[in-house]
Amino acid sequence: MSVTVSREGSVAFVTVNNPPVNAIGRAVRAGLMDALDAVENAVGLSLVVLSGAGRCFAAGADAKEFDAPLQGPHLPDIIARIETCDVPWVAAVTGAALGGGCELALGCRYRIASPSAQIGLPEVTLGVIPGAGGTQRLPRLVGIKTALELIATGKAVSAGRAEEIGLIDSVADDPVEGASRLDIEMVERGRSIASLPQPAANAKAVEAARALIRKKMPHQIAPERAIDLIEKSAHVSLSEGLAAERAAFLELREASQSSALRHVFFSERAARMPEPLRGQDAALEVITVAGGGTMGAGIAYALLNKGSEVTLLEADMDGVEKANANVEKIIAASVKRGLIDEGAAEACCQRLMVTTDYSAASQSTLAIEAAFESLAVKQSIFADLEMHLPKSAVLATNTSYLDVDALAAGVSDPSRVIGLHFFAPAHIMKLLEIVRGENTSDAALATGFALAKRLGKIPVVSGVCDGFIGNRILARYREAADTLLMEGATPWEIDAAMTGFGYVMGPYEAQDLSGLDIAHANRRRQDAERDPERRYISIADRMVALGRLGRKTGVGWYRYPDSGGKVEDPIVAELAVEAARLAKVERKEYPADEIRERLLMAMINEAADILGEGIARQASDIDLVTIHGYGFPRWRGGLLHYADRIGVDSVLNSLMRFETEDRVAWRPGQVIVDCIGRGIALSEWRAAPFLK
């Protein structure tokens, strides 16, 4: 039973029971309607206590149902009946009351929550707006300004804050028990939100919310619509406001942004420990990190912050000093930003030991090497780690490009070796590529997933190849951009085309931020194995030769004056003209649409090869990599979700058009051709099972 009804004296208890989070699907809605019938037909009831079984009150509408046609009974009708019921309803909230869960509570006469409850209307994060009264009842209860704060960005609030703003009436350790002991007369006297006066208009707050949304959630439709509706609540009757809200909700539910955001929400959850690995335990209390540079220090801090003891190994005392300083800097910055308090900072310092002595790592169950990007250096560290760590310990490398199998070959038991590719800054970026080598054991892989869970990161498994999933796609993105640069576009036109698509930064601004020298060193490493048929564009090499390494040198693709900001630099165009002259290419203008098409198609084509080679196990993993590691707009659902939306046949058409210019760079991937042949989307394409 999704909803149960019981009775003690004059109090009825209606309990939503739909594990794990009491999502309000059709069965729950039908159960609530039955409960309303039961309550209305009962004699001698004075109070109804509505609660959720398990860890949530209710996590909102069942978002899995959004792909199917609407099915009654509908939540707005249920809430209207609760609101007008002769017997007053009290919401007893434990855990999350989100979306429709919060709206159910708003239909009740009184709200009481446990101290750890989280209450909010996060619909905009799934591309929709509250569709069962949230945008109209909440402003009536807490005012326009506070309603905007909650609904426009979708941030939930704690029980304490909810009480402060008047969203709930009281806090109790056991809200169900607390609700049943409420003074019934007081609850009866309490008015339903529907009978509260209209909220006062607040044009200033509305304008501020719009400005915030344009900055924080640009391109997204739902937050703007939510603001419109909240503003409207001050000017129209409740019934008119509810009708407008419902119409907007139904429209957005069908729109591509909501479909994309739901896809990402469920992909993130599906990416966690894969089914065959579940139940494998991994102890992560004591961990070694080898190398305390920017990356190693970030990884060490991420681990310390989650309670692990960390031995940070360095090659010499100078390295120890620098590593200590690097970690301390991150801890201090976290305190300054209010992410941790002084006590937590002190505890982090106590759990850290920085040393040159590898024997200090003897208790570690996992070692993560984060040293200089050189196979020889990493092999030597692995040899030392192997000597000092328990034989069962997992040995991980944080390489971004190097061959994990070559590294594993130097270890007597290569099954213990995995890649753990963190993204800088390692304590902030959400993505963790877990690289599965030829011989990596399931236990080692499970350790990677367990680590991701502990650190709150999104894990994606990648096979071994140059650059793994993310950097391999990035290389094609940059190649396509450099080709356009040579053929006539400017870096700023290319950057603007991609920010227009939804990236926060275009490829050239991003390179300036990370430094042109890193990609340059990588290109030199690839020189020996580069396909001689493939056109090589050397503009970036010339930039490095001129000392234009990006922000750190004050000049890169752009100039960064001391006074701040960035300015376009004509010298870059001169380098591009020179490259075109040498390559005998005629330069022309490229409109933004064409720039976007070329850059996206280059990435999609590479991603299809990555799928075909079994480097990624599914398209949604590539979506997560592009969103969480490379700034692909979340509301577009990730690279391959986007490809499926425009259609695989349309992707093939573009590739074939470009192939006439360069048959090596634009040859359509086999998976794209296969998908069309089989009539399936890229999201339906499956690599061979990834577990041995």
Q: Nearer to ligand COA by C-beta: 96 or 352?
A: 96
Pick the stretch among 91-99, 325-333, 524-532, 572-580 that binds ligand COA (CB under 6 A): 91-99
Is residue 63 a contact residue for ligand COA (CB under 6 A)? yes
Q: Nearer to ligand COA by C-beta: 67 or 661?
A: 67
3-state SS string for 407-445 = HHHCCCCHHHEEEEEECCCCCCCCEEEEEECCCCCHHHH
Residues 331-370 that bind ligand COA (CB under 6 A): none
Q: Which of 41, 69, 86, 269 binds ligand COA (CB under 6 A)?
A: 269
Backbone angles phi, psi at 410, to 5 degrees: -85, 0
Least Cβ distance, residue 643 to ligand COA (angstroms):
24
Phi/psi region, residue 502 (left: phi>0; alpha: psi -120 to 50; beta: rest), is: left
Q: Which of 2, 11, 15, 62 binds ligand COA (CB under 6 A)?
A: 62
Least Cβ distance, residue 60 to ligand COA (angstroms):
3
Helices 238-254 and 221-232 pack at an angle, to 10 degrees, of 170
40, 83, 103, 479: the catalytic one is 103
Q: Nearer to ligand COA by C-beta: 120 or 298?
A: 120
Q: Which of 83, 123, 386, 487 binds ligand COA (CB under 6 A)?
A: 123
Q: Which residue has the tokens 């300083």?
A: 325
Q: Which of 31, 52, 60, 175 binds ligand COA (CB under 6 A)?
A: 60
Pick the stretch among 52-60, 219-227, 457-465, 533-541 that binds ligand COA (CB under 6 A): 52-60
Q: Which of 35, 47, 91, 126 binds ligand COA (CB under 6 A)?
A: 126
3-state SS string for 124-191 = HHHCCCCCCCHHHHHHHHHCHHHHHHHHHHCCCEEHHHHHHHCCCCEECCCHHHHHHCCCHHHHHHCC
Does residue 504 contact residue 632 with C-beta atoms inside 8 Å?
Answer: no
Burial grade of 617 (CB within 10 A; 0-12, 13-18, 19 or more): buried
Is residue 310 a contact residue for ligand COA (CB under 6 A)? no
Is residue 222 a contact residue for ligand COA (CB under 6 A)? no
Show the binding pattern over residues 545-574: x = contacts ligand COA (CB under 6 A), - = does not. Answer: ------------------------------
Does residue 507 contact residue 599 with C-beta atoms inside 8 Å?
Answer: yes
The sign of the torsion formed by the CA atoms of 495, 516, 455, 339 equals: negative
Q: Which of 8, 20, 376, 679 binds ligand COA (CB under 6 A)?
A: 20
Pick the stretch among 56-64, 413-421, 548-556, 651-659 that binds ligand COA (CB under 6 A): 56-64
Least Cβ distance, residue 126 to ligand COA (angstroms):
5
Q: Nearer to ligand COA by C-beta: 59 or 445?
A: 59
Report the candidate in 573, 481, 556, 565 with the shortest Cα–Cα distance to residue 513. 556
Pick the stretch among 69-77, 122-130, 142-150, 658-666 that binds ligand COA (CB under 6 A): 122-130
Q: Nearer to ligand COA by C-beta: 118 or 398?
A: 118
CA 135/CA 686 separation, integer angstroms: 41
83, 123, 386, 509: the catalytic one is 123
Is residue 134 a contact residue for ligand COA (CB under 6 A)? no
- Residues in contact with ligand COA, counted by CB under 6 A, come to a total of 20
Q: Which of 6, 9, 64, 692 binds ligand COA (CB under 6 A)?
A: 64
Q: Nearer to ligand COA by C-beta: 134 or 143?
A: 134
Q: Nearer to ligand COA by C-beta: 144 or 273?
A: 273
Least Cβ distance, residue 266 to ligand COA (angstroms):
6
Find the length of the chain: 692
3-state SS string for 597-654 = HHHHHHHHHHHHHHHHCCCCCEHHHHHHHHHHHHCCCHHHCCHHHHHHHHCHHHHHHH
Catalytic (active site) residue 123 = yes
Least Cβ distance, residue 264 to ligand COA (angstroms):
12
Beta bridge mates, 98: 120
At CB < 8 A and 24+ separation, what contacts does 159-164 make? 159/93, 159/113, 159/114, 159/115, 159/116, 159/117, 159/118, 159/119, 160/115, 162/111, 162/113, 162/117, 162/119, 163/113
In single-letter form, the type of residue at position 412 comes to S
Is residue 103 a contact residue for ligand COA (CB under 6 A)? no
DSSP run (H or E) holding 8: strand 3-8
DSSP run (H or E) holding 327: helix 317-336
The sign of the torsion formed by the CA atoms of 427, 433, 434, 435 equals: negative
Q: Nearer to ligand COA by C-beta: 275 or 533?
A: 275
Least Cβ distance, residue 50 to ligand COA (angstroms):
17
Least Cβ distance, residue 324 to ligand COA (angstroms):
35
Catalytic (active site) residue 103 = yes
Tokens of 99: 């979306």
Does residue 483 contact residue 535 with C-beta atoms inside 8 Å?
Answer: yes
Least Cβ distance, residue 158 to ligand COA (angstroms):
13
Q: Nearer to ligand COA by C-beta: 453 or 587?
A: 453
Tokens of 359: 């024997």
Does residue 5 contact residue 12 with C-beta atoms inside 8 Å?
Answer: yes
Q: Nearer to ligand COA by C-beta: 125 or 135?
A: 125
Does residue 452 contact residue 459 with C-beta atoms inside 8 Å?
Answer: yes
Show the binding pattern over residues 229-268: x = contacts ligand COA (CB under 6 A), - = does not. Answer: -------------------------------------x--
Identify the three-state secondary structure at position 531.
coil
Is residue 402 a contact residue for ligand COA (CB under 6 A)? no
Q: Nearer to ligand COA by C-beta: 122 or 139?
A: 122
Q: Which of 3, 28, 47, 59 binds ligand COA (CB under 6 A)?
A: 59
Beta bridge mates, 47: 11
Binding site for ligand COA (CB under 6 A): 20-21, 23, 56, 59-64, 96, 98-99, 122-123, 125-126, 128, 266, 269
Query: Which are the catalytic amino acids?
Result: 103, 123
